[in-house]
Structure 1
Amino acid sequence: MMKLYVLRSLLLLFLIPFYAKAQTVSIAEKTKTMKVYNGYKPFYWDETTGKIWLQIDTFDEEFLYQTAIPAGLGSNEVGLDRGKLGATSVVKFSRVGNKILMIQPNYSYRAITNDAAEKRAVEQSFAQSILWGFTVAAETSGSVLVDATSFFMRDALKISAILQTNSQGTYALDETRSALYLDRTKNFPMNSEFETTMTFVNNSGKSGAYVNAVTPASEAISLRIHHSFVALPDSNFKTRTYDARSPYNTNSYFDYSTPISEPIQKNFINRHRLEKKDPLADRSEAVKPIIYYLDNGIPEPIRGALLEGASWWNQAFESAGFINAFQIKILPEGTDPMDLRYNVINWVHRSTRGWSYGYSIADPRTGEILKGNVSLGSLRVRQDYLIAQGLLAPFENGDLPADNKMLQMALQRLKQLAVHEVGHTLGLMHNYISSAQNRSSVMDYPPPMATLNSNDEIDLSNAYTNEIGDWDKISIQYGYKQFPNGTDEAVALDNLLTDASKKGLTFISDRDARDAGGLHPNANLWDTGNDPVTELKRVMQIRAKALSKFGENSIRKGTPMAMLEDVLVPVFLFHRYQVEAATKVIGGQYYSYAIKGDGQMVTKSVSKEEQLNALNAVVDCMDPKVLALPERIIKLIPPRPANYDYDRELFNRKTGLAFDPLAAAEAAADIPLSFLFNTSRLNRLVEYQAENGGLGIDDMIQVLTTKLWNGQKSIGLEGLIQQQNEQMLLTYLLAVSVNDSASFATKAGLLKAIDDLKTKVTAQLKKTKNNTQKGYLLLTLERIKSPEKAKATLHQTAPPGAPIGCGTNEN
């Protein structure tokens, strides 16, 4: 029996390979009833099971993996917009037995060397990421078939987490309500495209206001997710080194093969591949022009404006020596805008106005831009139209005037929007100093340039420029100019930027401009003019003129009178961004991104005289006479009718349904105070005064208290605004005095100012016989006792005001 058992066992072991081979299913057999999609990565659709099967023919060969949202939520606040891109990853398939791993190599850390051991040391020192594991289901001649359904049906963009982070509810993916979206699942020779409909369910019954506003049933949110597998480009792309004075986004990594004497971090600019047909010619057509496709769902006249504006970039490429190298076309019908072969400009609808974006998909290995992807918010143009409507009060006859100057201005801004966002996808960052350099770049944020004509009427004919800027030409030359053989490219590029700075053309980025404690006086969003203080005074004249005309002629016939408030908001706060710009003069510093030896100014102090001039101009904007709306306007704004909601675009109110002119004044006064009392600015005032005798905290507070607290007491609405301003100033004094971000010297200066104010108010209390005034003084003293209770609003009371824009691209 023992011998028989051994013989059986040996026979079984001998037959196992034959059984295994017989049980291995071929790809043809496995997929015989499925629909085949031939192309870059062949795949199959099994309609009976709703599964997608992926055929993998090569292993350890890198390709690009990209995710995106082709059909979004429709809420700007949540950010899950149509056209939004996910992460860009270089990946490869590796086989281990019957397992297929999708591996993402770590390109942040490299060794650019021919020494294999040196490369291996770096690769083994830093982690890779295995994004997914597949199981072989069929095999033919080295090609394998795997079930990829779960990979494509996962929450690849972390949508559940995004909804929860934005306090919109706890949502989870429901596979029973999710499926492949076959209309946009396609295959091409160099790319494979997959799309899914994904439903996220909230079983708790608690969902956020943003979700409730845009979904037919907030318990279930159905979006679409797109996945792209794309062949990586060849190795002929030539990288270009980043210069701190240039405005480009970068492809950065650490090269551990770098000699010790050289920087280990390498920075190369992101740019499209663009080459001349005739490299020897000064001007030549491109081997392959850069073509952008405009969403064919955009209506006229918006479509025409966007086409014209985006095409301005060809002016810059012409200056770099190319002929017709940048082109704009309408997206052909049936073309998928998610297809990575197409640079696209998407028209995105949301429930509220929101940002526009310009993103690029770039090869993580080199920085070569493979796809420009622009998302333009459709409602922003209506805000521009509203601004023009408020400035012009054009409805004297009740209906639209024949020339419709509001539409003209709004369309002109759309041209700016298109060229701006496309600029991001060409590799460019914002340049927020260009408004102070004669509007030299479309990569700034431009508000409408309103002027007073010879008849003392508001003129919007020069609201926006009609061409690419001088700095933009320099930028494209730096990124795309093709130099003749034998040229020292580094020297040529350095000369380009050095010559530009000599002409007064420079670059200041997002970080410098967006900080509430901003340092550079000329680096601002939405400002105009070469000097922020002079321009503030001019803008205040425009605001005064617009308010003097404001009334029934500011809305069309048949419009509820309550809607006047919608038009009033951007007029009343027309100066808000120029105020912000002027505050940066106070505690400011001029500087550049200078390179050693380039001859640029490195840093330059702002004189005490300049700062005092700016401070007085800013505080003048808080004068009760400036902030008090005339009674004739207040009487024109009743409560809103039924079905007209009170929303964030209006002033906050403490008066119930009634329009609150004090709330409007509070919003306008809080804006400058919040910037003036930024702790970074106050800390700098202390230090700069000690270093060079600049404006100090005591100087600033003296101006503020003199103008806001010590002035002639007003009566009526102006009197209430004056008291409100006084208490807002006290709020900031108290709040910053206990703020841990404030330096000891800053706190000391504020405590001295508070004590002086306490002494003064105490003396007034002993003298006054007016009960109302007595109560007000008692309130002031009571507030001084509890500085920890003072809550600065940081201009959150003001309605959102940016007329149109984008993110940091970031943009």
Structure 2
Amino acid sequence: MQMKWWMTAAAVSLVGAIPAHAQSQQTAPTLLPVRANPADGRVLFTLPAADADGVSGRFLYATALRTGLGSADLRLDRGMLGGEQIIAFRRIGEKVAVTFENHRFRATGDTKVAEGGRTSFPFSIVAMLEVVDTGDRGPLVVDMTPFLTRDVIGIADTLNRGAPAGASPGGAGGGGGGGRGFRLAEGLSAVDTASVKAFPDNIEIDALQTYQTETPGREVERLSPEPRQTSFVVHHSFIRLPAPGYTARAFDIRSAAGGNQYYDYGTPLGAPVVQQVANRFRLEKTDPAAARSPVKKPIVFYIDRAAPEPIRTALMEGVNYWTRAFDAAGLVGAFRAELLPEDADPLDVRYNMVNWSNRLTRGWSYGGGIVDPRTGEIVKGNVVIGALRVRQDMIIFEGLVGTAGNGSGGPQDPVRASLDRIRQLGAHEVGHAIGIMHNFAASTQERASVMDYPGPRLKLTDGRIDLSDAYAPPGGKWDDFTVDWLYADPAPGIDPDAAARAKAKAAMASGMRFITDVDGRSADAASSWGSMWDDGADPVAHLRQTLAVRRVALTNFGPAVLRQDEPLSNLRRKFVPVWLLHRYAAEAAGKLIGGIDYSYAVAGDGQPPAIPVAADVQLAAIDAMLATLSADTLTVPAALVMPLSSATTARDDPQYTQEIFRTSGAAAFDPLVAADVAAQVTLGSLLAPARLARMVEQHRRDPSLPGLDTLFDRLEAAAIAPRQDAVGRRIAFRTVMSMARAGRDPMASPEVAAAIGDRLQRLATSFGQRGSGEDAAWRRHLATLLADDERLERELDKMPATPPVPPGMPIGETGWFGD
């Protein structure tokens, strides 16, 4: 009989009642003696004798999902990690308590000080286990089954959750749809005794868990074969605590390294109670005194074989980018990517993984890991890549340049550009898994980091869209600095934290920019440099370039963007990312308006103080944003309206329906909806209450900076006054309604609300002037609406009447440190 890989000497699976003589012949010890009995479905652990504190074993405990839900909205993905805990076993009478210890609160000091810190905050007993047997010298045999079948990941809560913020409306055909009343069905759940594997430093176990309800919700209904009884395979890992000798790296706000936060009530007076350490792998040179040295144990990430070719190879090539950064830091052979061995389990904690997860609709990719909560040491790196992301890239690029170049390798090849993007994505998510945060300012310094969200560089060459430089090989000088800061320790005798602080100061002094999620993710954020999906040092120039590419793409748009025999109705799907190509460039330009140039600084590092963006730059950004609201920009070419109305007999497909504009009934494409949606994208950023409040305050302190009167005058002239046709009137209507909504926003300052209210009253007066024709009727309607607060409020509450903006972030991801 062929021996399975987990039955080798290094990995012993104790399935059923193994004879004593067979057990004695095992050549490698395991973390704990384990016995899995298929006859009664129980898994038994033999715990060590209690220590001086009465603890019979303390381990790092982690969970993961072996099978997923396949939903982009309800995150229960194949390969996804749950949380990690320090787990301890303690006998209490006839039971053994399974305890999750609380290491977030502590007190450094003598025994009594430390005890005071530990006992001031709660711990959690999560199971009371039956003692099956007691050995002669004290070891306990306990039945782990009740613990292994509990809802450790919070699956029921996730299934019961509705659509997350930002999910596409139901009317658009997707998003949301969480159920109600899901609960763990104990009678339909069990430990998979055949899955149990024990190794010297870890134990791996699967459990089958079923969640039951009579109201599963739309999302589960379209994914599960029996939505009222939806099952998962949940994985448990018990891990030997990392050995002593790991050196934590003190967190530095300038470094882009994410970290663990804890509270230390034993710090000296004058020192902060809140402490943070950077997350990183343990990486040690064989020669600590050498500037360059091989390492004792390299970081190896494994690529999931579930990823098909050529994507699998592209992922490996992208992840291997980090090899160069570690080598530049003097850590020779410290990092590499490999294909997961055929017989390896991707959920085994010994394998750092890049998992491939399929979902019904496109969604996030993310990177993280299992981290020792006491020290911040990364024990396992873990990435989940959404499989539809590369296909979305193909849709975008085919919509821009057509399908004729597919697979050619040339400057207009959507396949080549999409694989370049997946290389960048693999490197980006592994960056999170080795401890690095986003840097959304890197795109303004010539692609300085793979940890930005990169917009494709779209060039016009001889009047044609050129994808040849859409994505550069991953990485740059910021990544080199971050790896060096996080992983390269100085020679013995030099304070490593002091050396790291010096590196951070030098990086900032050299002009490197760093803006992460808290200052870069929101469209109304104040940072002038932190934007997602932008490209280049000048956001205004980038917006103008993007609009030029968009014009060419719209001119060429038609059946040539489809593959042979692809339904003509798919034009509507590929039209959306082309029509909204400028959405992120507009957000980047918008951040200059009321924007502030600032950095993450510490006392004494010599960085310049924060300053508002210069007046001429803000005015240029306003004009560039307003250009996106012109009727010329937002009029769908007449030649496209009928082709975009092509019908289909195919069954409903959420991958398609959530990505298209609302129609005028069945297949009838509505060009005014397209104009309305694009206007919303710009107006939502331009009229964000936080931005308007900053403009008020900046103008108050420096009248040379544009205030709200300047913004509203230009907005009125560009988007409200020119109403020669229906497109112009739709843009004007959405502008007026967006202003009214911004003035009533709970976050609007009194000054902003007053300025908007005054401007709307003036518009109502001008709209009420006499006249004839369609525009006069339109003006009278708006004048009546603006003069009646209750009617206006009802109009603003009619959200279903507002055309929904299809999902954004076409190539987006979220990170472990940004969640």
TM-score w.r.t. the length of structure 2 is 0.91
- Give the match for residue 157 of structure 2: 161
CA contact (8 A) 1:312 1:468 kept: yes
The 5-angstrom pairing of residues 9-24 of structure 1 reads none
- Give the match for residue 17 of structure 1: none
1:593 aligns with 2:604: no
Give the residue type in structure 1 aligned to 2:458: A
CA contact (8 A) 2:179 2:217 kept: yes
The 5-angstrom pairing of residues 2-151 of structure 1 reads 39-59=30-50, 60=55, 61-113=57-109, 115-141=110-136, 142-151=138-147
CA contact (8 A) 1:295 1:330 kept: yes
Question: Which among 784, 788, 791 is matched to residue 785 of structure 1?
Answer: 788
Question: Which among 429, 437, 441 is matched to residue 445 of structure 2?
Answer: 437
Distance 1:758 1:779, change over 3 A: closer
Distance 1:51 1:784, change over 3 A: farther
Deviations 1:212-238 (A, max 9, x none): 222122122111111111100111001
Deviations 1:695-731 (A, max 9, x none): 21121111111111223x32xxxx1121111111111
TM-fit CA distance, 1:172 = 2.0
Deviations 1:499-535 (A, max 9, x none): 2223321211101111232111210111111011111
Give the residue type in structure 1 aligned to 2:140: V
Question: Which among 313, 331, 354 is matched to residue 304 of structure 1?
Answer: 313
SS in structure 1 at match of 2:382: strand
- Give the match for residue 198 of structure 1: 209
TM-fit CA distance, 1:779 = 4.1
CA contact (8 A) 1:249 1:429 kept: yes
- Give the match for residue 627 of structure 2: 620
Question: Which among 653, 662, 668 is matched to residue 678 of structure 2?
Answer: 668
CA contact (8 A) 1:394 1:400 kept: no
TM-fit CA distance, 1:99 = 1.7
- Give the match for residue 518 of structure 1: 525
Cα distance in 1 for residues equivalent to 2:361 and 2:196: 31
1:732 aligns with 2:723: no
Cα distance in 2 for residues equivalent to 1:792 and 1:401: 49
- Give the match for residue 457 of structure 1: 464
Distance 1:772 1:431, change over 3 A: closer
Cα distance in 2 for residues equivalent to 1:458 and 1:680: 36
- Give the match for residue 758 of structure 1: 764
Question: Which among 570, 575, 580 is matched to residue 577 of structure 2?
Answer: 570
Distance 1:249 1:400, change over 3 A: closer
Question: Which among 410, 413, 419 is matched to residue 421 of structure 2?
Answer: 413
The 5-angstrom pairing of residues 634-645 of structure 1 reads 634-645=641-652
Give the residue type in structure 2 aligned to 1:260: L
Question: Which among 178, 186, 189 is matched to residue 178 of structure 1?
Answer: 189
Deviations 1:117-171 (A, max 9, x none): 1111112211111121112121112111222211111111121111111232322
Cα distance in 2 for residues equivalent to 1:179 and 1:364: 29
Distance 1:290 1:771, change over 3 A: closer
SS in structure 1 at match of 2:114: helix
Cα distance in 2 for residues equivalent to 1:510 and 1:796: 29
CA contact (8 A) 1:689 1:696 kept: yes
Distance 1:662 1:401, change over 3 A: farther
Give the residue type in structure 2 aligned to 1:742: A
- Give the match for residue 544 of structure 2: 537
Cα distance in 1 for residues equivalent to 2:687 and 2:726: 23
- Give the match for residue 770 of structure 1: 773
CA contact (8 A) 2:369 2:380 kept: yes
SS in structure 1 at match of 2:345: coil
1:720 aligns with 2:711: no
Return 351-360 or 98-107, whichever deviates more: 98-107
TM-fit CA distance, 1:791 = 4.4
TM-fit CA distance, 1:746 = 1.1
The 5-angstrom pairing of residues 318-329 of structure 1 reads 318-329=327-338
CA contact (8 A) 1:651 1:664 kept: yes
SS in structure 1 at match of 2:62: strand
Deviations 1:644-681 (A, max 9, x none): 53611111234443111111111111011011121111
Cα distance in 1 for residues equivalent to 2:404 and 2:614: 47
Give the residue type in structure 1 aligned to 2:41: G
Return 678-687 or 639-648, whichever deviates more: 639-648
SS in structure 2 at match of 1:71: coil
Identity of aligned residues (%): 35
TM-fit CA distance, 1:771 = 6.1
Cα distance in 1 for residues equivalent to 2:811 and 2:774: 49
CA contact (8 A) 1:357 1:810 kept: no
Cα distance in 1 for residues equivalent to 2:17 and 2:682: 68
The 5-angstrom pairing of residues 354-373 of structure 1 reads 354-373=363-382
TM-score w.r.t. the length of structure 1 is 0.91
- Give the match for residue 745 of structure 1: 751
SS in structure 2 at match of 1:664: helix
1:798 aligns with 2:798: no
CA contact (8 A) 2:294 2:334 kept: yes
SS in structure 1 at match of 2:644: coil
Q: Give the superposed CA RMSD.
A: 2.2
Distance 1:792 1:88, change over 3 A: farther
TM-fit CA distance, 1:308 = 0.6
TM-fit CA distance, 1:483 = 0.8
Structure 1: runs of 5 or more not aligned: 1-27
Cα distance in 2 for residues equivalent to 1:333 and 1:405: 33
CA contact (8 A) 1:337 1:344 kept: yes
Give the residue type in structure 2 aligned to 1:753: R
TM-fit CA distance, 1:280 = 2.2
TM-fit CA distance, 1:772 = 6.1
Give the residue type in structure 2 aligned to 1:94: R
The 5-angstrom pairing of residues 280-295 of structure 1 reads 280-295=289-304
TM-fit CA distance, 1:94 = 0.9
TM-fit CA distance, 1:792 = 8.9
Give the residue type in structure 2 aligned to 1:103: T
Deviations 1:407-444 (A, max 9, x none): 10000001000000000011001000100111100000
Cα distance in 2 for residues equivalent to 1:769 and 1:574: 38
The 5-angstrom pairing of residues 223-262 of structure 1 reads 223-262=232-271
- Give the match for residue 3 of structure 2: none
1:343 aligns with 2:352: yes
TM-fit CA distance, 1:400 = 7.0
Question: Which among 431, 436, 440 is matched to residue 428 of structure 1?
Answer: 436
Cα distance in 1 for residues equivalent to 2:539 and 2:333: 38
CA contact (8 A) 2:365 2:815 kept: no
SS in structure 2 at match of 1:62: strand
CA contact (8 A) 1:731 1:792 kept: no
CA contact (8 A) 2:594 2:612 kept: no
1:653 aligns with 2:663: yes
Give the residue type in structure 2 aligned to 1:680: A
1:189 aligns with 2:200: yes
Return 148-157 or 769-778, whichever deviates more: 769-778
- Give the match for residue 287 of structure 2: 278
Q: For the pair shown, which has the larger CA radius of gyration, 1 or 2?
A: 1
TM-fit CA distance, 1:489 = 2.9
Distance 1:358 1:400, change over 3 A: closer
